[in-house]
Structure 1
Amino acid sequence: MKSHASTLLAEVRTFRQNHPDVRYVDLIALDIPGHFYGKRYPIEMLEKVAAGSPLKLPQNAVLLGVQGGLFKIGDYCFNDGDPDANRRLVPGTLKPVSWESQPLGQMLITSDGTEAPIEFEPREVLAKVLERLQHKGIHPVVAFELEFYLFDKKLDNGLPQFARDPLSDDPDDQPNLHIERLSRFGEVLDDMAQTAKDQGIDITVITAEIGPGQFEINFGHLDDGMRAADWAALFCRSTRGVALKHGYRASFMAKPYLQYPGSGMHVHVSLYDGAGNNLLAAHQQQPLRHAVAGCLELLPHCMPIFSPNHNAFRRLGGTVNAATRASWGFEDRDACVRIPESDPRNLRIEHRLASADANPYLVLAAILVGLEHGLEAKREPIAPLNEDRSSGTDFPLEMLDAVRAMQHQPVLRDKLGAEFVDVYCENKRQDHLAFQQEINAREYRWFL
């Protein structure tokens, strides 16, 4: 414990030496909907926390709805006295914030690794899955890819406007998938990439996607699944901030335009043993087939995680590479689970179903549980799309159906935790019902 505290203290003191103008640090964690919450600490108080002083925040901050409201979930929120829960600083995450008007720092905090972790905290859910796999001698290597849209900073009667191309205001003039679009938006994209690197994130490939103002950022492969999810979460935060600084809005909203492709969170996962052998490639890739079967079996029950809101369901079955059934295939982007071409050492799955605004900790946890379940059950998967274009199994396409499919699934309750599953499903159900409590203009046009 003393060694851990001394490491954190050295990190804070080094940061203060390198950034003497920073007076405050945002201590942040991701809640269930995937938003950061936390507190802004004076830098001198942060040093005390690093040295061992308690760091407490309300336990129920994790349960906030999309709009920040509290829902009655079991005895939480209204019958538990709103207790505090201990958090800890995550080593290696204290970094400068360059997109705000004043010098700031930020650092991740979490309840995982404390004496009483919060069972439904997303980072804790993933931590338990990773720990269990490690005990089984399974070591994931993970890489995220995130798609997002740039919009004009100003909304038009609440509706997004296309990001203003320096050469044209017509979205049809933006060349899809062309390198030229990277140049047209080069200044903001370069700042996003550099800011992410300043946060310790390994940015690799940047792609202009099909939608106007849509881009994709790839991250490096990591043998630390938690850190990979940290990168995805922190990238979303910094990217929104950098976009505003340049006069844009950046959004990871799943389906901002009906007529253009949605934005996804693609996750590459390979599994290795303690000696560094690729477990999926053994025995003529039979474990790969088992892992795929497990993913597909659990996928319909994980839809509230992969599509965490009403808008995310709009993305499914969209214009490009978004499935409406659980499927797999080799080098097939229409599949939910794609097997990219690679040598045996790098054999992996690419899980393509999650929306870009999903919670990265929970998405990765659900994928890993699917792989784990498949390796244990040793079942054969359905036919790949390469052999049968109609292959696939149905999954829910509406939130309330999805919640019902998730809540009582025994494998998920066992491997993600029954308490988490109950809390998460009720949070999603309440959010969905709250979203419905508004009559929009179209409803009046149709039924008044």
Structure 2
Amino acid sequence: MKTPSCTLLAEVRAFRQKHPDVRYVDLIALDIPGHFYGKRYPVEMLEKVAAGSPLKLPQNAVLLGVQGGLFKIGDYCFNDGDPDANRRLVPGTLKPVSWESQPLGQMLITSDGTDAPIEFEPREVLARVLQRLQHKGIHPVVAFELEFYLFDKKLANGLPQFPRDPLSDDADDQPNLHIERLSRFSAVLDDMAQTARDQGIDSTVITAEIGPGQFEINFGHSDDALRAADWAALFCRSTRGVALKHGYRASFMAKPYLQFPGSGMHVHVSLYDGAGNNLLAAHQQQPLRHAVAGCLQLLPHCMPIFAPNHNALRRLGGTVNAATRASWGFEDRDACLRIPESDPRNLRIEHRLVSADANPYLVLAAILAGLEHGLETRQEPIAPLNDDRSSGTDFPVEMLDAVRAMQHHTVVRDTLGAEFVDVYCENKRQDHLAFQQEINAREYRWFL
């Protein structure tokens, strides 16, 4: 996994030649809650790192809670001396940043592929799963779809406002799927798509979704699963920046409005062998059934990953195409696992349960672990929704219940790493406790 320094050095020098006005580059990585952290490097120092100089950041930066604070998790953070850990540059990710007021660059960094990777770093968790699958001759092809909402840039008493239609200056407060909404918001949407492409992201279809100010972006299928997750992470960062530039807020919050559909992260996964044959389509699609069974079996034990916060849990149940139980079906958008109609070459599973603000590295790692488990145990799945509309198994919808279901599940610990599971679950538990330490207006209204 190590990249020769000459390749990275050539990438940095080519970037400097193409963008001579860029003086600083943000070196960024995703933490456990799915936020970017990192350092802003002078571009000449970046060249030294590319040539082989060490790149170190605090190991515990990965452990930040959703509000950015550090939690006591075992000996981490407060009893370990807050050590540095090596990171490496991710080749091919050095790109210009166009949404800032000054010329800037950004580049992904990671601990995976270093001599001592951080066991609980999200990208490293996915890298380990992919390495294990590769040793078994399994090669995933992955595509993400992300839904998000646009809001007015200004909040009203801390609450989001509908975005203003740039043609009429009226609020876009009507839920619909009309193609005209793409035209009315074309300036910001086109800039988002172009900025994504400038970041190396293969963004494709844009859709106006049902919620007011809600849209969806699709990414191309990639046989580099790490890069596919990189695209999802980087798109969230660039989209927020572009929205602010145009006078909007963009949010991947799972359920910003109770009365309108939430935003999801849909993940398409197909599996191939070394010869390029679709493993799911073999033997009259029997491996597809096994993979579905494995995913459904692990799904209730990965809910803290798929719905990583209280708001994400609000999205589940009661709205359009949001599953209330672990289920599957052919061409059925009410199912957690949808099997889109396709030819055998492109047969795939679409995982639809995940909230849009989930960590894409961990989401993909959990999905692949479920597929792997199913292919190995060869169990039959429950009936698809096409045969039985009541088919499905329950999953936890309270955070502490979800954490308990994840932390002590043997298969999840074995496939994602016991150290990661313990750290992640404690992070979610501490976030839950921190969330409870605030009295909101409703509580005074009900009980004062």
> Structure 2 length normalisation: TM-score?
0.99
Deviation at 1:167, TM superposition (A): 4.3
Give the secondary structure class of the aligned counterpart of 1:287.
helix
Q: Contact (CA 8 Å) 1:145, 1:266: kept in 2 or not?
A: yes
Give the secondary structure class of the aligned counterpart of 2:321.
coil
Matched with 1:269 is 269
Distance in 1 (CA, whole Å) between partners of 2:155 and 2:96 is: 30
Judging changes above 3 Å, is the alpha-carbon distance between structure 1 residues 184 and 172 closer, same or farther for their aligned structure 2 residues? closer
Give the secondary structure class of the aligned counterpart of 1:100.
coil
Structure 1 gap ranges (5+)? none
Give the secondary structure class of the aligned counterpart of 2:200.
coil
Deviation at 1:98, TM superposition (A): 0.2
Matched with 1:17 is 17
Q: Contact (CA 8 Å) 2:188, 2:242: kept in 1 or not?
A: yes
Q: Contact (CA 8 Å) 2:164, 2:172: kept in 1 or not?
A: no
Distance in 2 (CA, whole Å) between partners of 1:58 and 1:371 is: 34
Distance in 2 (CA, whole Å) between partners of 1:426 and 1:306 is: 16
Within the alignment, does 1:109 sit opposite 2:113 as a pair?
no
Q: Contact (CA 8 Å) 2:2, 2:114: kept in 1 or not?
A: no
Deviation at 1:227, TM superposition (A): 0.2
Matched with 1:397 is 397
Q: Contact (CA 8 Å) 1:265, 1:355: kept in 2 or not?
A: yes
1:307-365, Cα deviation, whole Å (9 max, x unpaired): 00000000000311001100000000000000000000000000001100000000000
Distance in 2 (CA, whole Å) between partners of 1:71 and 1:237 is: 25
Structure 2 gap ranges (5+)? none
Matches within 5 A, 1:253-402: 253-402=253-402
1:238-292, Cα deviation, whole Å (9 max, x unpaired): 0000000000000000000000000000000000000000000000000000000
User: Could you tell which deviates more after superposition, 167-176 or 401-410?
Assistant: 167-176
Deviation at 1:391, TM superposition (A): 0.3
Judging changes above 3 Å, is the alpha-carbon distance between structure 1 residues 105 and 172 closer, same or farther for their aligned structure 2 residues? closer
Give the secondary structure class of the aligned counterpart of 1:206.
strand
Distance in 2 (CA, whole Å) between partners of 1:232 and 1:432 is: 25
Give the secondary structure class of the aligned counterpart of 1:234.
helix
Q: Contact (CA 8 Å) 2:173, 2:213: kept in 1 or not?
A: no
Deviation at 1:168, TM superposition (A): 4.7
Distance in 1 (CA, whole Å) between partners of 2:247 and 2:172 is: 21
Deviation at 1:423, TM superposition (A): 0.1
Deviation at 1:166, TM superposition (A): 2.5
Give the secondary structure class of the aligned counterpart of 2:237.
helix
Q: Contact (CA 8 Å) 1:175, 1:181: kept in 2 or not?
A: no
Q: Contact (CA 8 Å) 1:165, 1:174: kept in 2 or not?
A: no
Deviation at 1:172, TM superposition (A): 6.7
Give the secondary structure class of the aligned counterpart of 2:116.
coil
Deviation at 1:232, TM superposition (A): 0.1
1:87-145, Cα deviation, whole Å (9 max, x unpaired): 00000000000000000000000000000000000000000000000000000000000
Q: Contact (CA 8 Å) 1:207, 1:216: kept in 2 or not?
A: yes
Give the secondary structure class of the aligned counterpart of 1:439.
coil
Distance in 1 (CA, whole Å) between partners of 2:281 and 2:139 is: 14
Deviation at 1:178, TM superposition (A): 1.1
Q: Contact (CA 8 Å) 1:174, 1:181: kept in 2 or not?
A: no
Q: Contact (CA 8 Å) 2:261, 2:319: kept in 1 or not?
A: yes
Give the secondary structure class of the aligned counterpart of 2:434.
helix
Give the secondary structure class of the aligned counterpart of 1:9.
helix
Deviation at 1:399, TM superposition (A): 0.4
Distance in 2 (CA, whole Å) between partners of 1:168 and 1:148 is: 22
1:53-97, Cα deviation, whole Å (9 max, x unpaired): 000000000000001000000000000000000000000000000
Give the secondary structure class of the aligned counterpart of 1:21.
coil
Distance in 1 (CA, whole Å) between partners of 2:64 and 2:172 is: 39
User: Could you tell which deviates more after superposition, 314-323 or 103-112?
Assistant: 314-323
CA RMSD of aligned residues (A): 1.1
Deviation at 1:175, TM superposition (A): 6.2
Within the alignment, does 1:63 sit opposite 2:63 as a pair?
yes
Deviation at 1:170, TM superposition (A): 5.6
Give the secondary structure class of the aligned counterpart of 1:325.
coil
Judging changes above 3 Å, is the alpha-carbon distance between structure 1 residues 349 and 31 closer, same or farther for their aligned structure 2 residues? same
Distance in 1 (CA, whole Å) between partners of 2:211 and 2:399 is: 26
Matched with 1:175 is 175
> Structure 1 length normalisation: TM-score?
0.99
Q: Contact (CA 8 Å) 1:11, 1:92: kept in 2 or not?
A: yes
Q: Contact (CA 8 Å) 2:336, 2:352: kept in 1 or not?
A: yes
Q: Contact (CA 8 Å) 1:262, 1:318: kept in 2 or not?
A: no
Q: Contact (CA 8 Å) 2:90, 2:107: kept in 1 or not?
A: yes
Give the secondary structure class of the aligned counterpart of 1:171.
coil
Deviation at 1:169, TM superposition (A): 5.9
Distance in 2 (CA, whole Å) between partners of 1:154 and 1:413 is: 43
Q: Contact (CA 8 Å) 2:281, 2:288: kept in 1 or not?
A: yes
Distance in 2 (CA, whole Å) between partners of 1:177 and 1:411 is: 41
